[in-house]
Structure formats: C-alpha cells, structure tokens
Chains A and B, each alone.
Chain A
Amino acid sequence: EDKVVQSPLSLVVHEGDTVTLNCSYEVTNFRSLLWYKQEKKAPTFLFMLTSSGIEKKSGRLSSILDKKELFSILNITATQTGDSAVYLCAVLLYNNNDMRFGAGTRLTVKP
C-alpha cells in the first residue's frame, strides 16, 4: 500500500526560529514529491522535487529529496507569523497521475 508519512504532526515555534519538516514515503512508481502550504483553504504549491540531492530554494524556504532513503525535508529559516499553516507533502505516481498526500504538519509561529 502506498503511504506518505509526515512528522511532526504539529509544531509550535517562535519568530526567528528555524524549522525542519519531514516527509517519508513508501510508494510504487514514484514520479516526484511535492510540498504545498495550506493556510485557510486551497493548498498553494511550494516545490516539486524529482531528483535526489538537488536543493530547491525560494526565499527562506528550501527543500531536498533523498530517493535512496525515501524522504524529503522542508526547511524554513527565520520563521515569521505568516509561515503559520499546514504544510502538506504529496507524492506523485506514474500510474494515472495518482497523488498521495501525507497528513500534514501544522506549524504555528508565535510572535
């Protein structure tokens, strides 16, 4: 059975802290791994990772994939209250473009 596991499920930090969110997966026909940020309603796309070891960066956010150990991390440096959200990890499979989501990590950044 394909599964995506995120940890921790929730995290509370203070502004300025650095956080690392984890995503591990066990799937067949892996195509790519995606990170989404969900604040109130629609998840918004952050990163898509297809190759191991290549870090993707966008401002204070960065992410990397390890296809040998089957995991990815999402780093957020110098956190701000606006980073408070649920961060979803999803794995895209080759068969039928099926996408499997993890349960999400709820990040709360306190002032």
Chain B
Amino acid sequence: DGGITQSPKYLFRKEGQNVTLSCEQNLNHDAMYWYRQDPGQGLRLIYYSQIVNDFQKGDIAEGYSVSREKKESFPLTVTSAQKNPTAFYLCASTMTSGTGELFFGEGSRLTVL
C-alpha cells in the first residue's frame, strides 16, 4: 500500500541528546515536509524539501536539521539546541505538480525527560 511511514511513533529522550525521526514515502512524491504540532497552535512548518539534495527552512527551523539524500526519505534530527522539543511531529508529502494536497504520516510523539 502506498503511504507515508513515520517512526518511531513514541520516543523519549533525555535533555542534551540528539534524536532522529524517520519519514519514508512510497507515493513518488517529490516534495516532503516536517511540521510540529503543539496544543492550541496548529501545525508549524520546520523544514521542507522540493527535490533531492535540497531543502529550505520553515518558520521554526532553529534546533532542527534535515537531509534529503533519497526521494523517498526525509529524516528530521532534533538537536540538543532545540529548547522545547517535546511535541508531536508530522511528516507530509505532495506532488509539486499536483493539486498541492498534503498526505500525512501518523506522526511521532517526542517527549524530553
């Protein structure tokens, strides 16, 4: 089945540790996105990538890093520089030549202890 797979679904981290969230899609979408969701704030864009080996910062990129070495994969690293990393992270993808509708993964909930 085609879709977007995020892992892990739940993750606990100690302060000062980096953690990488995985996002894989088999929809042949060229654009991929990472959003952060906090209660009462909707979705905020962290990073996005329209093509392999290229990505752009979103509104809240500080403390995060990404890579796009393959079309199917867009991992997000939450670094120790991110001051408030506890949140729900959503990965999404779309065809840039399509309608623009985003398809979402199931999300990863990160808790910093």
Contact = CB atoms under 8 A, between A and B. Distances in A.
Do A and B make up one complex? yes
Contacts of B102: 34, 45, 90, 99
B101 A102 contact: no
B25 interface: no
A90 B44 CA distance: 11
A97 B43 contact: no
Contacts, number: 53
Interface residues of A, number: 23
B106 A41 contact: yes
A4 B43 CA distance: 11
**Most chain A beta-carbon neighbours within 10 Å: one of B50, B102, B103:** B102
A4 B100 CA distance: 17
A67 interface: no
Given A9-B40, A96-B50, A48 B99 contact: yes
B48 A42 contact: no
**Most chain A beta-carbon neighbours within 10 Å: one of B42, B101, B102, B107:** B42
A97 B107 contact: no
B105 interface: yes
Contacts of B50: 96-97
B42 A41 contact: no
A2 B31 CA distance: 21
B107 A31 contact: no
Given A97-B31, A97-B50, A97-B96, A45 B42 contact: no
7 contacts: A34-B100, A42-B90, A48-B99, A88-B43, A97-B50, A98-B45, A99-B45
Given A31-B100, A42-B90, A88-B43, 10 more contacts: A4-B42, A32-B99, A34-B100, A42-B107, A45-B101, A97-B31, A97-B50, A101-B42, A101-B43, A102-B42
Query: Which 8 residue pairs of A and B lie closest in terms of their CB atoms, listed nearest first?
Result: A101-B43, A103-B42, A42-B104, A101-B42, A92-B100, A41-B106, A41-B107, A42-B106
